Amino acid sequence: MGTNTPALFNRIWEHTPLANLWHRTPAEIHIAIVLAIAVLTHLIVKSVRHVSEWSINKSHAQKNPFGFVTQQPKFITLTRLIVSAITFVIYFLAIGLVLVEAFHVNLTTYLASASIIGLAISFGSQSLVQDLVTGVTLIFSNAMDVGDIVDLSGTIGRVERIGLRFTKLVNFYDQEIFVPNRNIGNVSRFPHGGVHAYADIQVPAQADAQKVFATVQSVAKGTWSQFGGTILAEPVLGKIVTPQFGTWKFLRVQFTIWPSQGTLIETSFRQQIIYAMKTFDPNYADWMVAITYRTITL
């Protein structure tokens, strides 16, 4: 019960043929072996990571036998985190063994000193610790994932990478923004990758419905083609309907746009529609085209 485990391990090790061979070789050989094993292990771990990422890239979001969906970006982020941790441990132990062989430093003393130094550094670098803790939380939670368009406490962009210190976003102007994880207080995730903008277009009373639909469709697709960086998906046109209360008819066009870029729909698209509707009815008014925003599709 009171046996010291390291001491027991040392006694077992000392009576093995490998230990006898180890003691008969010089310290230089020991150092070379330790470094070679460290480098070889590092290369094996990196190779496993690359193979796993390659396999996930080929089968993105495929359902596994356990019944859950593997998310490619999160899986890759986790594998890189695990590989970084394993690599650190490998070289940390390798340096300790080299110090033991070259300078006869006690391995227990080395580990204890490293723990004390790490604790002191953590107290002196609280912001770094906050970044790491928040980064790990973001990686293991479903708050956001790579490829999502999010608002991180006022910074809007598409998530490119969730790191341990920074979360990398690319904004509307294609700028790379590195947000320190400790500054992420709120995560606003936009549905379906953007904001839904709806243009409700009143159909002129005397106009041919099919011609109005074709005209609106042409303007909507033309706007999408011209402003593809702002409008994230092809516009969706509904049917011409009559509201429950009223005799007039309207046509709804749904856009998925980059957040905070609704001005494009409110000005350019709306003005083109009003101009086109005036060809059917010269008295067509501005208020007959209404722009609204919602987070769900009606």
- In angstroms, the CA 288 to CA 75 distance is 49
Question: What is the structure's pLDDT at 66?
Answer: 35
Token pair of 89 as six digits: 């441990």
Question: What is the structure's pLDDT at 115?
Answer: 73
In terms of domains, do 86 and 103 share one? yes
Question: What is the structure's pLDDT at 1?
Answer: 47
- In angstroms, the CA 216 to CA 220 distance is 6
In terms of domains, do 257 and 278 share one? yes
In terms of domains, do 40 and 20 share one? yes
pLDDT in tens, the chain (298 residues): 445 555 554 565 555 665 566 666 777 777 788 788 878 887 887 787 677 667 655 655 444 443 333 445 566 667 767 777 788 788 887 887 777 777 777 767 777 777 767 666 655 566 777 777 888 788 778 788 888 889 998 899 988 888 878 899 999 888 999 999 888 888 888 876 688 999 999 999 889 999 999 999 999 999 999 998 899 889 999 999 888 777 789 999 999 999 888 999 999 999 999 999 999 999 999 999 999 987 554 3
In a domain, 26, yes or no: yes
In terms of domains, do 9 and 120 share one? yes
Question: What is the structure's pLDDT at 102?
Answer: 72
In terms of domains, do 65 and 165 share one? no
pTM for this prediction: 0.59
Which residues lie closer than 8 Å to 102 by C-beta, 6 or more apart? Answer: 27, 31
- In angstroms, the CA 261 to CA 230 distance is 7
In a domain, 215, yes or no: yes
- In angstroms, the CA 122 to CA 13 distance is 36
User: How many domains, the chain?
Assistant: 3
Question: What is the structure's pLDDT at 289?
Answer: 95
- In angstroms, the CA 210 to CA 260 distance is 33
In terms of domains, do 50 and 117 share one? yes
Question: What is the structure's pLDDT at 190?
Answer: 83
Question: What is the structure's pLDDT at 123?
Answer: 59
Question: What is the structure's pLDDT at 70?
Answer: 41
In terms of domains, do 119 and 168 share one? no
| Cβ contact 82:52 at 8 Å | no
In terms of domains, do 159 and 203 share one? no
Range of the domain at 149: 143-189
- In angstroms, the CA 246 to CA 1 distance is 87
Question: What is the structure's pLDDT at 7?
Answer: 58
Q: What is the CATH number of the domain that holds 67?
A: 1.10.287
